[in-house]
Each structure stands twice: as structure tokens, then as C-alpha cells.
Amino acid sequence: MLNVIDLRGRTPSTSELRRALPRGGTDVNAVLPTVAPIVDAVRDRGAAAALEYGQQFDAVTPASVRVPAEVIQGAVDTLDPEVRTALEEAIARVRSVHAEQKPASHTTTLADGATVTEVFLPIDRVGLYVPGGKAVYPSSVIMNVVPAQEAGCTSLVVASPPQADHDGWPHPTILAACALLGVDEVWAVGGAQAVALLAYGDDEAGLDPVDIVTGPGNIFVTAAKRLVQGVVGIDAEAGPSEIAILADATADPVYLAYDLISQAEHDDLAASVLITDSPELAETVDREIDARYTVTRNADRVAGALSGRQSGIVLVDDLEQGIATADAYAAEHLEIHTDNAREVAERIRHAGAIFVGAYSPVPLGDYAAGSNHVLPTSGTARFSAGLSTHTFLRPVNLIEYDRVALKEIGRHVIALADAEDLPAHGESIRARFESMPTDDASREA
């Protein structure tokens, strides 16, 4: 079922690897002309425009953008107890990990009376997008909300698409997750119009704009995030989900087959890639996939993803080439199924998250490992990080010098200001230690 790319017998360069590896085509630029009018309309007309687009695209209009408190509470009251317990455990684990991510303030003393202190300030108001198309994602509520809370953000709004099957409100499990996390502001709006409404708000409707928009979504959501960037911050431009597995002959082919299938279940455009130096393992995994994927409820979606150009098996000469190939691919999720898996994992430079060994599969990270599942896709893990507590913090320097310390460094500041032909910069320093001439004084002279 999976396409095979054979890299054995040669040492491709990094650029050759990037061209050779399976990768889907998601051209955000192609949908910008479609999305820009939506963003503009919501900017100009606020919630009314957002609701109109919701009716046009999803054939549903909620009674209000903001979900009433009693609807959110009702979702908790009717939540399956087993699901509630699972959500609470996932919240606890994710909170434990993200609480420890918050950096401590620190002060650097450069001389007597000369200090620079770095503090970390939370973003004031955050907009957290939770998709609701082909699946229900209460896990995305957790992954967005918890790091924002641990950063110290006090104003949070979750936006999620209205559902015709649920009286025009977001899915009850989404609302229940919000309630369990203490989020009482939820907007029943999805797609590009949700991102625009988060960015611009609507004063008449009592919907305050946010300072940053985070969370995954389809290509239209991604395009909207690109268009509002600068008005607000964004976390990343997320593409379809992807998994790469680096494996040798010691790996269990059944485990690999199920892990590749599980990510293909997300979307027809999802990518599942196996990198191995064992042709026998590759053949066995492909057979296991073919024998097993049909039993899953989303078999058609899985088949579309696994047979697409974004998925495949990559054969390499040895583990060294496998590591280089994994780094060139820079997967959103990278599993390591090799001998000495932890040692291999620590050699990886480019991945959104690395799952080590046979008992750390990606679905664990999707829900309850404690790590975050909002991760960089499409090779952007080479320069981007996943969602974390850091996403919602801004490092700010507090510069504090006394008179003696400023005088000590002042001559260097003046010299550099003169070198850049910005003499007023130097005069700002000199004015603190000498009487500076005024325009009147220069005319009298």
C-alpha cells in the first residue's frame, strides 16, 4: 500500500533528501484569495459576518456567538463518567509538564550598580481555536488551555465550530473540557471566520479581541492565521498531521503498522512515513497495514492517506543514514523503534516531538503523555517548536543602572552613537553628567 523510496547505495545531500522524501502539498497561498474576503468582512462587520459565514459553510447558526454558561455546565453534567475521568487525568499530566516549563526570572550583574533582569510576562488575552470537523477534539482544548493557564494568562476564550446536531453549540465534549479547565468564555464559531473574530472582536456584541491565536485547524484556518498575523500573534501555520517512524530490524511490525494507521486516521492528507534499513521489516509492515487497516471505522480515510504521495517507506543503508533522513524530514511526530532507542532519540535534531521506544506511541502524546500535541508540521520543526508554556510568555528585560555605573559605561555609548552618526544618543548620556548647551546658548556664542 505504501510507496517505497529507496535511498540505499548513495549519500544524498540535505536538499536532495528534502526533495526525495514524501511530502504532501498544502498550498496556503492558493486559498488566500478565498479567505481574505472572509477576514475582511469579519473585521468590518464583526459577529454578524462570522455567523453568516457559519450558516453558509456549516448550515448552522447558533443563538449567540458566546455559549451560555448553563449550556457549558450542562455538558459537564451529562458527560460520560469514564470520559470525564480520562479528561481529568490528561489535564493533570499535561499541567504537571507545562507547569515546569515556566522559566524563572533572573538578574545579571554587569558591574556595581548595573543590572539587567529578565522577567517573563504572560500574554494578556489569548484565543484558543479547537477544530470540530472530521473528529471531536477535547484533547486540543487541554493542549491549548493548560499552557496558557500555566503561563499566567487570565483571559482565555475558546472558539470551536457550532454543531447542527447540538443545537448550534460546539460539541458537548468540547464544552465539558472547557468547564473542567475553568474556561467560561466559549464562542460558537469556527473556520477562518473564527480566527478573524478572535483577532478583531466586536464591541457591540461584547466580544473582546485577543492578543494571540493558537491551535490547529484546516487550510482555511491556517490561511486566516496568516492574514491576521501582525494584528495578533499566532503560534504556527499547522498543516495535516504527520508521523515518521525510524526503525531497525528489532522493531515490532504490528506496532509500527498500527501507529502509521493511527495518524492516517486524522485526514486524507495526513502523512505516515517509515524510515528503515531493514527491507524485511518494510515488507512486513506494509503487509500488516494492508491486513489491518480495513477493520478501523475510518478505513476509507486511512486508505486515502496511506496511498497518497505524502506517505511512504524510505529505505536507507544504515542507522546513520536513517538519522540523517529523519532530520531532513523533520516530522511533527517521530517515533524511534531501534536498538538503544533513547540514545538514538538524543541524536535527533529536527522533530516536533520524539517518542522513544515501543511503548511510547504517538497516540499517547495525542492525549495523556503530558507533552503537547500542537506541533510544527511540514518540515517546520527545523526552526519551530510546538505549543508550550513558552508560547504564552514574553521575556522582558528590566535595565537598572545607577549614576556611577552609567558614567563608567557612558563613554562607550557615546563613541558608538557617534560612530553611527546619532549624536543625540550620546548627548542623552552626557546630559546626566555635564551642562549641555541649548539653542539659545549656541546663538549667543
337 is in an annotated binding site: no
166 is in an annotated binding site: no
Tell the burial category of 438 from Cβ atoms under 10 Å away from its Cβ (0-12, 13-18, 19+). Answer: exposed
Q: Which H or E run includes 223?
A: helix 219-228
Instruction: Single out the residue of 401, 431, 388 nearest to residue 143, CA to CA.
Output: 388
Instruction: Single out the residue of 57, 13, 45 nearest to residue 218, CA to CA.
Output: 57
Catalytic residue among 98, 166, 171, 333: 333
* DSSP per position, 74-125: HHHHTS-HHHHHHHHHHHHHHHHHHHTTPPPPEEEEEETTEEEEEEEEE-SE
420 is in an annotated binding site: yes
Catalytic residue among 185, 237, 265, 332: 332
327 is in an annotated binding site: no
Other CB atoms within 10 A of residue 71 CB: 21
Q: Is 350 a catalytic residue?
A: no
Alpha helices for 293-422 (secondary structure H):
299-306, 319-329, 341-345, 362-367, 403-419
Helices 47-58, 28-45: crossing angle, 10 deg rounding: 130
Helices 191-200, 47-58: crossing angle, 10 deg rounding: 170
Q: Three-state DSSP class for 167?
A: coil
366 is in an annotated binding site: yes
Helices 81-99, 138-151: crossing angle, 10 deg rounding: 30
Q: Is 106 a catalytic residue?
A: no
193 is in an annotated binding site: yes
All three cell numbers of 388: 508550550
Helices 191-200, 28-45: crossing angle, 10 deg rounding: 50
200 is in an annotated binding site: no
Residue list, annotated binding site: 129, 193, 218, 241, 263, 266, 333, 366, 420, 425
Residue list, annotated binding site for Zn(2+): 263, 266, 366, 425
Q: Which residues are catalytic?
A: 332-333
